[in-house]
Amino acid sequence: MRAVIQRVNRASVTVGEQVVGQIEGGLLVLLSVAADDGPDDVHYIAGKLRDVRIFEDDQGKMNRSVVDVGGALLVVSQFTLHGDVRKGRRPSFDKAAPPPFARQLYEDVVRVLREQGLRVETGAFQAHMRVELVNDGPVTILLDSQRTF
């Protein structure tokens, strides 16, 4: 499972003309599920999203989590994070999970975060979405549950 997390002042997802998810302050999470992911990957990513300390404390150091600052998460499915362009010019998505499996694990991450008391908004799985954000910092972090980076 891969995630790109961005510390944001605000973010929203629109499908067609309808806003389907929106937050004011917190983390925008672009999330991709690999074909070989499972429950351990769900808990790893959810735990990192909850606990990663990328918000500034009173001394200006990144020392606070989304929980500490009372922020929200906007979690958006993005299978293209598993795109591989090492060969040729067109990405291969062979490592990305098939949609039914990916949807289940994506929903599991959202469920686990909500069970931990976090406010979580989402995009629309398998929809063409417009994602808007105001990146705070900017701060952008990459996560991979297989620890390949």
Judge whether 148 counts as a catalytic residue. Answer: no
Peptide bond into 98 cis (omega under 30): no
Nearest to 108 by CA among 49, 46, 52: 46
CB 40 within 8 A of CB 87: no
Among residues 14, 55, 79, 122, which one is catalytic? 79
Judge whether 78 counts as a catalytic residue. Answer: yes
Residues across the chain: 149
Judge whether 122 counts as a catalytic residue. Answer: no
Supply 77's token pair: 């499915």
Supply 4's token pair: 């790109």
Helix or strand run (H / E) with residue 105 = helix 99-115
Among residues 59, 78, 125, 148, which one is catalytic? 78
Among residues 80, 104, 140, 146, which one is catalytic? 80
Residues tagged active-site = 78-80
